[in-house]
Structure 1
Amino acid sequence: MQAIHLALQKIGVELYGSAYHKAGILVFEKPGDGYGFPMPKNGRYLLVGADKTFEG
């Protein structure tokens, strides 16, 4: 179970750290609403939208 959680966090880090996110090109459902992946605590300052509400 921990391996799955860590893998999902890795996906979140990759998404939020991508040039596409920084440029505002990467969108899931609604622009600025986040991607729905968990983030490690030290990366939560990057969260936006609903992700920030639930994780931040």
Structure 2
Amino acid sequence: MFGSIGTAELLIIVLVILLVFGKDQLPQVVRSILRTWKDLQKQTESVRDEINDILKDDSN
């Protein structure tokens, strides 16, 4: 899901988020991050599909 981010790095990120936002806001922050991540993946897939369509049209 997170590419080359390992367990240790993910733990450090969560700890920093916890320190910055506090335990009460952590669930909301995590939801926001995951929502943004999903949107980014959708946009990346959309751009990739458009590029592939253009390349297929050019090869014909």
TM tier, shorter chain? 0.3 to 0.5
The TM-score with structure 1 as length reference comes to 0.36
